[in-house]
Structure 1
Amino acid sequence: MRHFIGKLAWLGLMLATPVAFAQGNAAAKEPPKAIVSLYRVAPGKHEAFLKWMADRDAIDKQLGLPRAQWYAHFQGDSWDYIAIAPALTDAQQKKEDDAARAKGLTTGAKSSIEFRQFIASHTDTVAFGPMNVSDMITLIDAP
């Protein structure tokens, strides 16, 4: 559950990075992955949405799991919030789900339906990162 930097330049880097990585040598370490989620919240549901997400964030904090970094819309495009979170391993996801169930929170398909009551639209994108530009260039230049 768990930015946009210069629209075309960033998109170009994101598209080029996996191709460059695939062409790199087998000894190269895969860069970390993150999930970038962009939310447009349904009218009147902002406070409920944030509380719903905070309940889940508290579980990650309690378990010592990596937590999302949140950004709130101020000016510009029509999104309300962006969350950027490290992708969890299957074991971490199971640990998170078990803890959520223990606290009486929904998980799985039921959680997805519950989540949608707050949302007008959203997207989730798996991206490489966080990295700095030098790391990205290293991936592109890998043999």
Structure 2
Amino acid sequence: MKGFVRHATSSLAPALLLAAMLAPSTGLAQEPGKVMVSIYRVAPGKQLDFLRWQAVRDAAASEAGVGATQWYAHMDGDSWDYVSIGPATTDEQDEKVDAILRGRKLTTGFKASLEFRTMVASHTDTMASGPTTAAALVEAGK
């Protein structure tokens, strides 16, 4: 039973962490927007490569006018390495970012996808709405 409780608790950890990260830090309710929540398990020995790859793409997104992605680094608990929460982008924004990356002679499209996969053991992308509060979600459900 003890092993079951430990497993059940560690399985809930990512969901609880995401709920905490999506909550507004100011305590003020705000209109939720669409965000992309990504959870990464980085391939052994690829931590620094992965972070550099992501930092360059974050900089290009910022230059294109896309809101900043928030990054969270694993400290204890489940087996993920990083979680990112960033704005859901439009096709137009994606094209601007790709143009900036191509201008810097960096990969885009399918080639970038292949390059990315050399650095991760696994990842998930989930579209979500937030940040918001539990009270606002209750009100929306009425």
- Secondary structure at the aligned position of 2:15 is classed as coil
Rounded Cα–Cα distance in structure 1 between residues aligned with 2:42 and 2:98? 24
For residues 75 and 32 of structure 2, the distance between their equivalents in structure 1, rounded to whole angstroms, comes to 31
Normalising by structure 1, we get a TM-score of: 0.76
The whole-number CA distance in structure 2 between the counterparts of 1:107 and 1:6 is 31
* Cα 1:140/1:6, change in 2 over 3 Å: farther
Please report how far the alpha carbon of residue 63 of structure 1 lies from its aligned counterpart in structure 2 after TM superposition: 2.4
Unmatched tracts of structure 2, length 5 or more: 1-13, 20-30
- Residue 55 of structure 2 aligns with which residue? 54
* Cα distance in structure 2, aligned partners of 1:109 and 1:130: 31
Say whether 1:83 aligns with 2:94.
Answer: no
2:141 counterpart residue number:
140
TM-score (norm 2): 0.76
Aligned length: 118
Partner of 1:4: 15
**Could you say which residue in structure 1 is the equivalent of 2:36?**
35
- Partner AA of 1:5 in structure 2: L
- Cα offset, 1:31, TM superposition: 4.5
Shift of residue 6 of structure 1? Answer: 7.1
1:7-43 Cα offsets, whole Å, 9 max, x none, are: 9xx6xxxxxxxxxxxxxxxxxxx95111110000000
Correspondence for 2:122? 121
The SS at the match of 2:80 is: coil
Cα offsets for 1:67-111 (capped at 9, x unmatched): 210000000000000001110112111111111111111111111
**Aligned-residue RMSD, C-alpha:** 1.9
Structure 1 spans left out of the alignment, 5+ residues: 11-29
Match of 2:27 in 1: none
Q: CA–CA distance in 1 between the matches of 2:74 and 2:32?
A: 28
Aligned-pair CA distance for 1:134: 2.5
| Residues in 1 aligned to 2:127 and 2:88: alpha-carbon distance in whole angstroms | 8
Q: 2:46, 2:109 → 1: CA distance?
A: 21
Q: CA deviation at 1:60?
A: 1.7
Q: Distance in 2 between matches of 1:72 and 1:32?
A: 23
User: Which residue of 1 is the match for residue 106 of structure 2?
Assistant: 105
SS in 1 for 2:63: helix
